[in-house]
């Protein structure tokens, strides 16, 4: 058994543990564990500094979860875009592929609670169905492995999935959506990295929410993935009491960049059942973005998004930088709230009829004279 597996076995993972280690009332502990399973591995547990701190809030259940039971358990309506149980196919050229329901820590804010932690929700047949679905859909060029946490499966199982995907010619990139570098960095082993290297291009998106999670162990795990050739990005979730503070977010994103992790998204918290106490006003997210942009390297500035309720996908939100127009001039403000004027390029208004005509002609002209044949991949003249 590898170290990470041994550590998993020592997790806090029952109502009884909550009673014995944290003094929960037994009835409450059982109710919360039934609502959404508890699991905190010893590494993540060691990051807690005091009860109710930003680490605690993410992993230790709270009675307030029980007060929020009328909310949806699938606010992003993923099931509607799920042609087979393990696949969500929402965007034209990419799919989310759920390969396990297990995680090394069950985040209390998880948006996929309806599937996560329940081992009956994803099985090996469904994984095969997922591979078959992707193989049958040539438009899918990007596969995001998720769950649960895809690094909860063994290296052997993960390699079988990766090699099956690599046999599909139209799959260009594979992404691993894993919280392991943050919550159980011991999972990132030389053996795992050596295996992953065989299936590039593989991108890793991880999930740090607070600077206290940027430990030497996490830094080492991220460096190993980067050394193995995986660009590593981060998706944080904005949460009340955890990171709804511009200085905390600035520190987190600067630390991530030092750890060779590129900030990618800050998510506005979803409306998932049992998690609404984490939600913050959108104003807070915009205020944080305002304090990041211009105040630190552009590389450390992620995109703030709302994953639209009902399945509309990610919608980016930006503070207001365009203040208005004055004739042909655009009135802008910079990160210091200084006002600037930019003279825009004047455009000739085109009659609608002409636009259609021009587009049509351009398309005709753009027909290639040469193309590669399927067989030889050589350039050949196109016969019309």
- Min dist CB 294 to ligand SF4, Å, is 31
Report whether 190 contacts 159 (CB < 8 A).
no
Q: Which segment (108-116, 189-197, 304-312, 341-349) binds ligand SF4 by CB under 6 A?
A: 108-116
Note if 90 is an active site residue: yes
Note if 110 is an active site residue: yes
Question: Quick one: 99 or 196, whose CB is closer to ligand SF4?
Answer: 99
Note if 245 is an active site residue: no
- Min dist CB 217 to ligand SF4, Å, is 17
Q: Which segment (13-21, 110-118, 159-167, 353-361) binds ligand SF4 by CB under 6 A?
A: 110-118
The CA distances from residue 353 to 251, 358, 360, 363, in Å, are 54, 9, 11, 16
Instruction: Decide if residue 112 touches ligand SF4 (CB under 6 A).
Output: yes
Instruction: Decide if residue 103 touches ligand SF4 (CB under 6 A).
Output: yes
Instruction: Decide if residue 65 touches ligand SF4 (CB under 6 A).
Output: no
Note if 307 is an active site residue: yes
Instruction: Decide if residue 110 touches ligand SF4 (CB under 6 A).
Output: yes
Q: Which segment (120-128, 142-150, 164-172, 282-290) binds ligand SF4 by CB under 6 A?
A: 142-150
Q: Which segment (126-134, 143-151, 227-235, 255-263) binds ligand SF4 by CB under 6 A?
A: 143-151
| 61, 75, 130, 148: residue in contact with ligand SF4 (rule CB under 6 A) | 148
Instruction: Decide if residue 106 touches ligand SF4 (CB under 6 A).
Output: yes
Note if 30 is an active site residue: no
For ligand SF4, the binding residues (CB under 6 A) are: 103, 106-107, 110, 112, 116, 147-149, 179
Residues assigned a catalytic role = 90-91, 94, 103, 107, 110, 112, 270, 307, 314
């Amino acid at each position: 058994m590898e170290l990470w597996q041994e550590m998993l076995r020592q997790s806090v993972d029952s109502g009884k543990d909550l009673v014995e280690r944290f003094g929960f009332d037994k009835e409450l502990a059982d109710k919360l564990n039934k609502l959404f399973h508890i699991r905190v591995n010893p590494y993540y547990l060691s990051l807690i500094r005091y009860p109710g701190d930003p680490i605690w809030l993410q992993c230790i259940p709270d009675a307030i979860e029980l007060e929020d039971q009328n909310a949806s358990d699938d606010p992003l309506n993923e099931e509607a875009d799920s042609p087979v149980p393990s696949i969500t196919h929402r965007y034209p050229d990419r799919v989310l592929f759920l390969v396990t329901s297990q995680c090394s820590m069950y985040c209390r804010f998880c948006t996929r609670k309806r599937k996560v932690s329940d081992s009956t929700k994803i099985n090996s047949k469904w994984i095969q169905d997922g591979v078959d679905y992707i193989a049958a859909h040539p438009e899918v060029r990007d596969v995001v492995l998720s769950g649960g946490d895809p690094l909860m499966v063994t290296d052997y199982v993960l390699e079988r999935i990766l090699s099956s995907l690599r046999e599909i010619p139209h799959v260009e990139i594979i992404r691993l959506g894993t919280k392991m570098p943050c919550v159980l960095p011991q999972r990132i082993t030389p053996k795992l990295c050596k295996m992953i290297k065989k299936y590039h291009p593989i991108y890793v998106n991880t999930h740090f929410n607070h600077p206290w999670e940027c430990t030497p162990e996490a830094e080492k795990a991220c460096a190993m993935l980067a050394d193995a050739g995986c660009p590593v990005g981060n998706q944080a979730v904005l949460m009340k009491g955890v990171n709804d503070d511009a200085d905390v977010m600035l520190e987190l994103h600067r630390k991530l960049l030092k750890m060779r992790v590129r900030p990618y998204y800050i998510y506005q918290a979803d409306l998932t059942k049992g998690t609404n106490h984490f939600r913050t006003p959108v104003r807070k997210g915009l205020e944080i973005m305002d304090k990041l942009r211009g105040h630190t390297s552009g590389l450390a500035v992620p995109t703030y998004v709302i994953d639209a309720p009902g399945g509309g996908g990610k919608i980016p939100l930006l503070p207001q930088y365009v203040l208005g127009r004055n004739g042909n001039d655009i009135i802008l403000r910079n990160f210091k709230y200084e006002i600037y004027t930019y003279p825009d390029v004047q455009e000739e208004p085109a009659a609608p009829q002409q636009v259609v005509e021009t587009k049509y002609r351009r398309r005709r002209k753009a027909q290639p004279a040469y193309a590669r044949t399927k067989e030889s991949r050589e350039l050949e003249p196109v016969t019309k």
